[in-house]
Chains A and B, each alone.
Chain A
Amino acid sequence: MARKGVKEKGQRSLSITAYAVTVFFTLAALIPVLWMISSSLKTDKDIDAYPPKWLPSIPQSVRVTIDYTGQEPQDNVYYEKDAMRATWYPWMKNLRENIGEVEITGIRGGTMIYRAITSSSSFHVGQPMVVPSAMFNDTLMNLKLPIIKEQKLSKFKWYGDNGKAAGDTAGIADSALAAKFGEFYGSTAFVKGKVTSIVEKSAWSRLFDSYLSLNKLAKDAAGPMGFFQYFLNSSIVTLSCVFMQMVLGGLAGYTLSHLIRSKRWQFFWIMFFLATIMIPDISLLLPLYLLMKDLHLVNSLLAMILPHSAWGIIIFLFKGFFDQISKELLQAARVDGASEIRTFTQIVIPLSIPIFASVAVLTFIPVWNEFVWPLVVNNLPKYWTFTVALNDLQNQSNVQQNMIMASSFVSMTPLLIIFLFSQKYIEKGVSFSGVKG
């Protein structure tokens, strides 16, 4: 770079091409990820918008006030059913709208007697059970109210006679959603009270409802932990594998590198470990499944962890690194009376932090992303890892693309965080493994 400043012929065109190509591929890598994030924040109206929209619009909260003044007083179940009819029926009629939540306020003689709030995540999870079709009748809610209560889909707060004074009613607002709801209440007789006002307000917090829907959906399949169960499974499997690789691979690599004197034995054991990289995972899928069946480990986390204890390339990476540690240093420690374990833990490990970090990262990424083995070895959702649960989502009928994208985004966040902090270890690891790739 001695002649800096003097532009060579051709340098300019090369630079322009280089930046153009690099920026193009950078964008190509970024667009799917941005589209994933944008889609995950969309409501059902936006997700099916054509032309596609990049910026999700803000979900709307529909606030309905129902006045029961002048009617016979009833028990709270009567009012709850009324509120649920006022929520679920018109929402089902307007399924593909930009609704973030519906809030029903019941008033009687100027005081508030109840308030019912339903978020869009609850609506989407409950819709196939509560309002499977747009055919409603008065008695339907008698059957559905227990479901709503059991699954905690709508929040219903009963004030009775102790409610605070209701504010002035605003009437039916001049907006599309309010008009649609107003039209439903006006043309049907499901709601017993008198609808006095419908207002539409922005509900920013409902942008993330696709994520909440995922969690509520997963509770049916995976148990009370919901979506976190998959997250926990993936984390346990991945971290156990990382730990196992470091302990087993580290010990074996050190032994091959420094403890076996005989050249012939050393060669034998290196071949013993390294030869296994010839065996493709897909070939071992069936025999490993049969093995796990014999060990009674089908449908367990252990079945996903154990096979990862044998990666030929890991031992090879460790051995390559340990070979660079000088024999004299280790001899000195031994002469000083340190045991082999002490030598390993107090001298070798502190010198080898980079290789341990590289192995950790190079194990974490593929194990977290692993798909086919967890898919075949587990058929109970309780033991699914993230990738299997994610694939299952696309086969469920009431799951929209916004939920699938939300789930995809959640699945990549741990990797993104790890990657941000460990890029240099990945680059090192790749250069350690060199061309063996």
Chain B
Amino acid sequence: MGDPDPIAGVEIISIRKLNIRWMPVLFLFPSVLCYVLFKYYPLLNMIYVSFFRYSIVNPPGVFVGFSNYTEFLSSATFWQAVSNTFVFFALYLGLTFWIPIVQALLLSDIRRANAFFRFMYQLPTIVPAVAGILVWKWMYNPDFGLLNYWLHFVGLGPYLWLNDLNMTKLAIVLPAVFAGNGISLLLYYSAIKSVPTEILEAAKVDGAGPWRRIWTMLLPNIRFIIVIQFVAFMSGVLLAYDNIYVMTQGGPAGSTTVVSMLVVNTAFQQSRFGISGAMSMFMFIIIALLTVLQNKISAEKD
């Protein structure tokens, strides 16, 4: 007993006081309960609902097998929404995805007022999406808006931003171009800062100029985070809802209705719960695949 092995010592105590055994249960129980109640049960219920012509007055209604799935998969509205989602994806990819990368690479070169600029980059993150969109909606105002006024100086416009079928999608993406993405920026920035200075110094000695160092040293070092962020970006585009709803409510003529909006509208406007459940299932499968992909890539790095 003179010099007890610490592990064995704890075992003795735990057996004597019997508190190590029920403590984990007590500590874990509230979380497990919440997860079952607010994640796993709803998930199973969603799958269950998707097989019924669900009636909210007299649940669950009539069992219809897979017909909810075939119904939404064969509806033109759904494929219109899918194609809108793809257009949004292309627009977001072309106009926004690379912006935080450029911002972070250039920010790493700035010494003066670096913290201030980092703060400013995150400012749009803290404006509630609804408020941010309402400001942009006001700037888009065709008669009194700031944007048409500015564009007339360069001989463009006036545009009917939110009523012109060719403009609405761009009008929804544009705020994100200027607002950037503060969180992604931070991730890229901290990854760039973690590149050892010795490597950079060595490259410098070898005659690589500052632009070349960005291209050959910094960018490859954050390539991994770019890939991860890209997967997260794909789910982000697929799940976009708030900004589109506040800006256009899916209009005009369904030109900005995306799949996530269809899920909500089918349930809460048309009360077709079964179909909405089936579409929820569709969204779940795609997002789950993307998440698994993201984790697989992270795991490969480790």
Q: Quick check: B42 and A260 within 8 Å, CB to CB?
A: no
A84 at the interface (CB under 8 A from B): no
Chain A residues 363 to 402 lying within 8 A of chain B, measured CB to CB, are 365, 368-369, 371-372, 376, 386-387, 390-391, 394, 401
Of B137, B141, B264, which is within 8 A of A376 by CB? B264
Contact A423 B122 (CB under 8 A): yes
Could you say which of B62-70, B80-88, B277-285 contacts chain A?
A: B277-285
**Considering the chains assembled together, what is the distance between the CA atoms of A408 and B131 in angstroms?**
5
Interface residue stretch chosen among A136-144, A214-222, A275-283: A275-283
- Interface status of A69 (Cβ within 8 A of chain B): no
Is B145's beta carbon under 8 Å from chain A? yes
Residues of A within 8 A of B301 (CB): 435
Give the complex CA separation of A276 and B127 in angstroms. Answer: 27
Q: Does more than half of chain A's interface fall in helix, strand or loop, or is it mixed?
A: helix
Type the 1/0 row for B204-243, where 1 means its CB is closer than 8 Å to any CB of A. 1000011110100000000011001100100100110110
Task: Pick the residue among A254, A283, A289, A376 that contacts B27 (CB under 8 A).
Answer: A254
Residue B276 CB within 8 A of the other chain: yes
Q: Are B34 and A309 in contact (CB under 8 A)?
A: yes
Instruction: Judge whether B124 and A29 touch: CB under 8 Å.
Output: yes
Is there an interface contact between A284 and B102, defined as CB atoms closer than 8 Å?
no
Report A1-28 residues with CB < 8 Å from chain B CB: 2, 8-11, 13-15, 17-19, 21-22, 25-26, 28
Which chain A residue shows the least CB distance to B292? Answer: A278
Q: Which of B5-13, B71-79, B163-171 is near enough to bind chain A?
A: B5-13
- Indicate if the CB atoms of B103 and A284 lie closer than 8 Å: no
**A9 to B208, alpha carbons, bound, how many Å?**
10
> Shortest distance in angstroms between B116's beta carbon and chain A's nearest beta carbon?
9
Cβ of B123 and Cβ of A404 under 8 Å apart?
A: no
- Asked whether any CB of chain A lies closer than 8 Å to the CB of B98, the reply is no
Q: Is B149 at the interface (CB under 8 A from chain A)?
A: yes
Report the separation of the CA atoms of residues A409 and B132 in the bound assembly, to the nearest whole angstrom.
10
**CB <8 Å contact, B190 and A430:** yes
A435 in contact with B292 (CB, 8 Å):
no
A22-B103, A251-B27, A369-B128 known; A279-B284 Cβ under 8 A:
yes
Does B151 count as interface, using CB distance less than 8 angstroms? no
> Quick one: which of B31-47 are within 8 Å of A by CB?
31-32, 34-35, 37-43, 45-46
Task: Say whether A57 faces chain B, with CB atoms less than 8 Å apart.
Answer: no
Is A77 on the interface with B (CB-CB < 8 A)?
no
Query: Which residues on the A side are within 8 Å of B128 (C-beta)?
Result: 368-369, 371, 386-387, 390, 408, 411-412, 415
A419 contacts B122, C-beta separation under 8 Å: yes
Which residues of B are found within 8 Å of A390, using beta-carbon distances? Answer: 128, 130-131, 134
Does B135 count as interface, using CB distance less than 8 angstroms? yes
Query: Please, which residues of chain B bring their CB within 8 A of the CB of A50?
Result: 143-144, 149
Complex interface residues of chain A between 38 and 54 (CB less than 8 A to chain B): 39, 47-52
- Is A286 a contact partner of B277 (Cβ separation < 8 A)? yes
Indicate whether B199 reaches chain A with its CB closer than 8 angstroms: no
> Does B107 reach chain A (CB closer than 8 Å)?
yes
Residue of A nearest to B263 (CB): A282
Is B126 in contact with chain A by the CB < 8 A criterion? yes
Residue of chain B at shortest CB distance from A36: B135
For A368, give the chain B residue with the smallest CB separation.
B128
Q: Is A249 located at the chain interface by the 8 A CB criterion?
A: yes
Give the contacts of A308-354 with B (CB-CB under 8 A): 309-310, 315, 328, 331, 334-335, 339-341
User: How many Å from the CB of B220 to the closest CB on chain A?
Assistant: 16
Which residues of A282-311 have CB atoms within 8 Å of chain B's CB atoms?
A: 282-291, 293, 306-307, 309-310
Cα separation A247 to B280 with both chains bound (whole Å): 31
Write the chain A residue with the least CB distance to B128.
Answer: A369
User: Please, could you name 28 A-B residue pairs with CB atoms under 8 Å apart, sorted by A?
Assistant: A8-B209, A11-B209, A29-B180, A32-B132, A33-B127, A52-B145, A251-B27, A252-B30, A255-B28, A259-B20, A279-B284, A279-B287, A283-B43, A283-B263, A309-B31, A340-B20, A369-B129, A390-B128, A390-B130, A391-B130, A391-B246, A405-B134, A408-B127, A415-B126, A423-B118, A430-B183, A437-B184, A437-B229
